[in-house]
Amino acid sequence: MELMHANILGEGTPLLILHGFLGMSDNWKTLGRKYADAGFEVHLLDQRNHGRSFWSDAFDYRIMAEDVKRYMDSVGISRAILHGHSMGGKTAMQMACTYPERVAKLLVADIAPKPYPPHHQHIISAIAALEPEDLTTRKDADNALERHIKDWGIRQFLLKSLHWEMPGKLGFRFNLEVLKDSMEVVGDGLPAALQYAGPVLFIKGGNSDYILQGDLEEIRSHFPKAELKTIDGAGHWLHAEKPEEFFRISLQFLNS
């Protein structure tokens, strides 16, 4: 079986970080270095069909949790702190509930264990609409995406996954064909019976509607020790919008 690609920083307590949908481990490099400087061995992981990891038609949270366990086994990590944003948070929740003995703590950024309706279709459609001539320079790709995606931040997030497939031709590192058919799966909720009794911190963006106050009851049905903290003025990409505050709140939990 193929293993997830990882970028490992620092030494100390193992901390595994899982990115969100259409993202990659590079999204967490800056914060990853800060966690490493704070005494953690940081493993920035690319989930399957993303970044530099392998592509596969099989794609769901149970399988992605197995990817994390297999990775831990391969590098000799018996127990780690898991840290996931959005889709990565769902993978981390699944892993913590399935293999609680392997997870020391769980940190989840702006996602709840509930199901979400598919809501990335306009982004997937914009990427699918790109023509070969749109992928000759990063500027051309940005201009083409801007026709459908006005939000500069979302475009920059997507453009981070561009790489040179060959001279003069850019491509995305994520597996668009599989991901566009997996929108229902990405929104899946955590199965009702699953539970993790260890320490858990959920951090939400104050301007994001991914976690609502009414979700706390369901969160604690899966994670009885869960705490919820809010970063005011931040949206769904809270770690990129308010990195210093995110780092401060998360580090306090990681060191507690």
Catalytic positions, written as ranges? 86, 236
Q: Are the beta carbons of 46 and 5 closer than 8 angstroms?
A: yes
| Residue 2 to residues 49, 53, 128, Cα–Cα distance (Å) | 12, 9, 27
How many Å apart are CA 22 and CA 31, to the nearest integer?
Answer: 19
The SS3 call for residue 173 is coil
The alpha carbons of the chain give a radius of gyration, in whole angstroms, of: 18
Q: Residue 81's beta-bridge partner residues?
A: 15, 105
How many Å apart are CA 67 and CA 76, to the nearest integer?
Answer: 14
